[in-house]
Amino acid sequence: MPQSPFVAPIAQHIWDTKYRFRDDSRVLDRSIEDTWRRVSHALAASEGPRIAEWEQRFYGALEGFRFLPGGRILAGAGTAKQVTLFNCFVMGPLADSLDGIFDGLKEGALTLQQGGGVGYDFSTLRPRGTRARRTGALASGPVSFMRIWDSMCATLLATGSRRGAMMATLRCDHPDIEEFIRAKQDRRELRNFNLSVQVTDAFVRAVDGNADWALVFPLDHPDGSAPSSGNGETLLQDWPGFAQPVRCEVLRRVPARALWRQMVQATYDTAEPGVLFIDRINQWNNLWYRESISATNPCGEVPLPAYGACDLGAINLTSFVRNPFTPQAHLDLEGIARLVPVGVRLLDNVIDISGYPLPKQQEQALGSRRVGLGVTGLGDALLMLGLGYHTEAARDLAARALRAICHSAYRASIALAREKGPFPFLDRPRYLQGRFVCGLPDDIRQDIERFGIRNSHLISIAPTGTISLLANNISSGIEPVFDFRFSRQVRGTDGCDQRFDLVDYALLCWHRHAGEDAPQPPWFVGAQRLSPEAHLRMQAALQPFVDNAISKTVNLPETIPTLEIASLYLTAYRLGLKGCTLFRPNSTTGSVLTTESSAPPSHCCNSEREGE
């Protein structure tokens, strides 16, 4: 009798409720091996005469949870259901008119209905109290319309095992930024949204210099709106919806540090909003020459242009730890590098076989062929290697692994371009001028110049919450182990939560190695015992090898002073990160996971929904 790949009971539950293929009452995936065969067969369908070869190679990658495709791929590939295989999308710009707003709402509803999360930039909507030129009506502001999206999402996904997933962003110089920052102080508000402020370099300089900060809106908006309560002062400003800097009216000024303190206090109270360092995101975008990005997918690991999509998969690092807990313990970097081309090809094929809720999403995906290859299980892998997450040795090894994955992925994508053609949006001379591409090894850059590249972007670090549970409760993404024994709420197909008592994967491996009564080694330190700086420094160590972005939660102690939160955001900026999410548990936010209780999580994209 073959041994079951499921070690943790929660893993089998996750497979049974989220990824096992059923047609009404008929069970079609009788085992996880059937799921792997279904997915492998579907993803090999675009390989022409080499279908059998690649079906077997994809199956070999999936077997034993070595490679974990995004949950929409696992759930939807090969089912013939009208679903998308992409986890999430950034939607098109919201036109500042009633027609435009509700067109955007409809697009979001159609996308959510097919299983994709959505991200929106609400900066294009007129601030509260300004007057529309054509109708004379007073605007109610972006936050009021966000509530409509929130109700729509809650209605669509009120039943079933999946939670809604939406991201809302707003520029730090939009006149309604203070209302946006405070929007989730009432825990009943916007429960299906994550919120992030687009923080510009200029705003950080204003905070550093204790300067006043202008809150502005375009003077002549394409849809006929215009601010009407300013003092006539204008600035030339970049703004979503405009290809070039646009003349904006200054509606008021606030002390930059006062606005900063409001953001910090909101993070202290509700763990939101997060911050996106939006200028850095655009400066480091491989497609800088054709895109202006102002939003991300709901968890923040993929900054995307209008109608862009997340195509995600993760290498399970625990599968590549050799001789764990011994002096010979090491990470098999060569084995990882051999798996990378299979993962890249698998994700590239997703683009061709997936359904798309909207034609514009298909056009964008086929044009850029963005993929997001990442890792999961880093925290457990480090422990199995005898390394504390907070140590320099751990950061050095993690960086070496990401460097190997990044460079192998780019080489694999070049090989795919030689075989199948480069992505259509490629402008080779300008692509090679991109900041990230300029940092790649010379041989990769030379081969891009000669042969092109199949995918505009290749690396992304997603949270992988649910698929990490599927892989026997390994640590999520690049997060440290949350705790070594804890309970967790998981939603089932009936919409009800079921509680599981869990033991961390690395601890299970330790007990197998040293015996059930062996005490935990001293380097087994959980997330809540690590300093916030340790979280940020791990993220910073990996960012140079990630062309998309990194979703990472910095766990804060409940007693942290608000001034320290302000310092952490600035530290994240100065370390070169593209964004930062801080989480302080309290009576408003609850906690995502818990050892004793099951308080509700704060984020709609908590670790039960992320990475599905």
Rg (CA), the chain: 23
pLDDT of residue 18: 93
Please report whether residue 167 resides in a domain. no
Asked whether residue 601 carries a pLDDT value surpassing 50, the answer given is: no
| Mean pLDDT across 54-66 | 98
Least confident span in 67-81, 146-160, 191-205, 535-549: 146-160
pLDDT on residue 131: 80
Percent of the chain with pLDDT over 70: 92
Of 248, 299, 310, 580, which one is the catalytic site residue?
Answer: 299
Q: For residue 216, which of 282, 170, 262, 281 has the smallest C-alpha distance?
A: 170
Full residue range of the structural domain in which residue 571 is found: 1-94+109-116+147-162+281-287+308-612
DSSP 256-275: HHHHHHHHHHHHHHHS--EE
User: 133 to each of 222, 490, 575, how far by Cα in Å?
Assistant: 11, 49, 44
The per-residue pLDDT for 157 is 76
589 within 8 A of 562, measured Cβ to Cβ: no
List pLDDT tens digits, range 324-359: 999 999 999 999 999 999 999 999 999 999 999 999
pLDDT digits (tens, 9 = 90+) for 313-330: 999 999 999 999 999 999
Spatial distance between the Cα atoms of 355 and 314, rounded to a whole number of angstroms: 21
Pull the structure tokens for residue 496: 């009800």
**Choice among 34-38, 415-419, 590-594 with the minimum mean pLDDT:** 590-594
pLDDT at 603: 46
Task: Give the span between the Cα atoms of 363 and 341, in whole angstroms.
Answer: 25
User: What's the whole-number mean pLDDT along residues 451-479?
Assistant: 96
Note whether 198 and 170 are within 8 A (CB). Answer: yes
Neighbour count for residue 145 (Cβ, 10 Å): 21
* pLDDT given for residue 585 in this prediction: 86
Pairing of strands 26-27, 22-23: antiparallel
Token pair of 458 as six digits? 């290749």
Query: What 3-state class would DSSP assign to 247?
Result: strand
CB 275 within 8 A of CB 579: yes
- Give a yes or no: residue 244 inside a domain: no
Which pLDDT score, from 0 to 100, does residue 607 have?
A: 41
Do the bridges between strand 485-491 and strand 212-218 make them parallel or antiparallel, or are there none, so unpaired? unpaired
Name residues whose C-beta falls within 8 Å of residue 607's C-beta, 6 or more positions apart in sequence. 463, 465, 476, 592, 593, 601
Q: What is the mean pLDDT of residues 31-41?
A: 98
Segment (H or E) for 583: strand 579-583
- Spatial contact of 127 and 176, defined as CB atoms under 8 Å apart: yes
Count CB neighbours of 411 within 10 A. 20
Residue 99 lies in a domain: no
Amino acid at 67: F
Q: Which of 320-324, 565-569, 595-599 has the lowest mean pLDDT?
A: 595-599
- The one catalytic residue in 192, 194, 286, 297 is 297
Residue written as token pair 């009800």: 496
DSSP state of 29: -
With cut-offs at 50, 70 and 90, classify the pLDDT of residue 598.
very low
Class of residue 360 by CB neighbours under 10 A (exposed 0-12, middle 13-18, buried 19+)? middle
DSSP strands (E only) in 127-280: 166-171, 193-199, 212-218, 234-237, 246-255, 274-277
Q: Is the pTM of this model over 0.75?
A: yes
- 140 inside domain: no
The answer to whether position 180 is within a domain reads no
Average pLDDT, the chain: 92
Confidence bin at 600 (pLDDT 50/70/90): very low
* Closest among 459, 339, 330, 345 to 402, alpha carbons compared: 459
Token pair of 410 as six digits: 């780019």
369-384 burial code (b ≥16 CB/10 A, e <16): bbbbbbbbbbbbbbbb
Residue 610 CA neighbour count, 13 Å, CB half: 32
Q: Which of 195-199, 411-415, 495-499, 557-561 has the lowest mean pLDDT?
A: 495-499
* pLDDT (tens digit per residue) in 247-304: 999 999 999 999 999 999 999 999 999 999 999 999 999 999 999 999 999 999 999 9
Tell me if 371 sits within 8 A of 457, measured CB to CB: yes
**Range of weakest confidence among 42-46, 217-221, 506-510:** 217-221
Written as one letter, the residue type at 578 is K
pLDDT value of position 137: 82
For 359, residues 6+ apart whose C-beta sits below 8 A from its C-beta are: none
Q: Give the orientation angle of helix 333-353 with respect to helix 51-62, to 10 degrees.
A: 120
Catalytic residue among 272, 301, 608, 610: 301
Q: Is the peptide bond before 273 cis (omega within 30 degrees of 0)?
A: yes
% pLDDT > 90, the chain: 85
To the query of whether residue 301 is one of the catalytic residues in this protein, the response is yes
How far is Cα 145 from Cα 272, in angstroms, rounded to an integer? 19
Torsion of CA 32, 34, 36, 41, to 10 degrees: -170
Residues in the chain: 612
Distance CA 412, CA 430 (A): 21
- Is 297 noted as a catalytic residue in this protein? yes
Report how many domains make up the chain: 1
Has residue 354 been placed in a domain?
yes
Distance of CA 80 to the CA centre of its chain: 26
pLDDT band at 25 (very low <50, low <70, confident <90, very high): confident
37-41, 135-139, 170-174, 574-578: least confident range: 135-139
Q: What's the per-residue H, E or C state across 2-26?
A: CCCCCCCHHHHHHHHHHHCCEECCE
| Residue 238 to residue 416: CA distance in whole angstroms | 36
pLDDT of residue 161: 46
CATH number of the structural domain spanning residue 487: 3.20.70.20
Q: Kindly report, residue by residue over 251-262, the tens digit of the pLDDT.
A: 999 999 999 999
- CA 425/CA 575 separation, integer angstroms: 31
Return the number of other C-beta atoms located less than 10 Å from residue 343's C-beta: 27
Dihedral sign, Cα of residue 593, residue 598, residue 602, residue 603: positive
Residue range 371-383, pLDDT digits in tens: 999 999 999 999 9
Residue 274 lies in a domain: no
**Residue range 169-196: mean pLDDT, rounded:** 96
How does pLDDT run across 129-160, given as a tens digit for each residue? 988 766 778 899 999 999 999 999 999 876 55
Residue 293: both structure tokens together: 């990005």
- DSSP for residue 91: P
The predicted model gives 443-452 an average pLDDT of: 98
Q: Residues 570-588: pLDDT tens digits?
A: 999 999 999 999 999 876 6
pLDDT tens digits along 585-596? 876 655 545 544
Report yes or no: 125 and 96 within 8 Å, Cβ to Cβ.
Answer: yes
Q: Indicate whether 325 belongs to any domain.
A: yes
Whole-angstrom distance, CA of residue 565 vs CA of residue 255: 19
- pLDDT of residue 605 exceeding 60, the answer is no
Instruction: Convert the pLDDT of each residue in 225-249 to its tens digit.
Output: 556 556 789 999 999 989 899 999 9
Detail the DSSP E strand segments found in 423-539.
485-491, 497-503
